[in-house]
Amino acid sequence: MEHRHEGHRARLRERFEATGAEGFSDHELLELILTYVIVQKDTNDLAHLLIDSFGSLQGVLDAEKEELARIEGVGPKAAFLLKLLPAFSRRYYEQKTESCLKLITPDETIPFFAARMIDRENECVYAAYLDQNKRLIQCGLLYEGNAHMVEISAGRLLKTALRLNSRYVVLAHNHFNHALPSVQDVAATTFIQKKLKEVGITLLDHIVLCGSEGSSMIKTGHLTLEE
């Protein structure tokens, strides 16, 4: 039985090397991942069970550790690995997108910030600080709220922008039900824009995200660029 499992696993790995993820269904990708922590059991049935229980591969990776542990066959190592994957992916895409950035258009800024929202369970505000050529100096989490709201204030943003000698700033925050700014978002952003302008810093945009979808306050007309 163990020999049969190992032969199947070897074929999975060979097929992935040949086709990449495009040649795999969600449950097959999950099955392959689980082989690295479940060494003596067939992981195919468990992968199907996880997908059926949580609805999708994303649902499995978004599930709480306690929810995963309730699934028969998921031990502590497997639950840990499944929770590690989104955090690992976020770090990878953060670094990948930082390497090529001039944050000028929504086409550049939306995927840049969307990568930073992977696996976030609360609404978060990120700020990207740019030099006079609009090249990224630094990007960081500014505030974290709860699942329904996050407050945005100017104090910490101004302090960091001045310390970094930033000339431009781009803000982004996430919603869980839509990618459009609320009335409160617009009011807070307008206030922050005014405070930044007082010290010679331009707010280039504020991106609102929901998953991989995003909207630019400049593009939607909720914010007017003032350079």
Task: Please work out, in degrees rounded to the nearest 5, the angle formed at the alpha carbon of residue 60 by the alpha carbons of 39 and 49.
Answer: 60
Among candidate residues 199, 203, 209, the one with its CA nearest the CA of residue 128:
203
Q: What is the CATH number of domain 100-220?
A: 3.40.140.10
pLDDT per residue over 66-92, tens digit each? 899 899 999 899 999 999 998 888 787
Q: Which sequence spans correspond to the domains of the chain? A: 2-91, 100-220
CA-CA distance, 120 to 124, in Å (whole number)? Answer: 8
β-pairing, 202-210 vs 213-216, is: antiparallel
pLDDT per residue over 13-56, tens digit each? 888 888 888 888 999 999 999 998 988 788 999 999 999 999 99
Among candidate residues 180, 186, 184, the one with its CA nearest the CA of residue 203:
186
Among candidate residues 142, 140, 156, 148, the one with its CA nearest the CA of residue 123:
148
pTM tops 0.85: no
Angle at which helix 154-163 crosses helix 183-198, to 10 degrees, equals 40
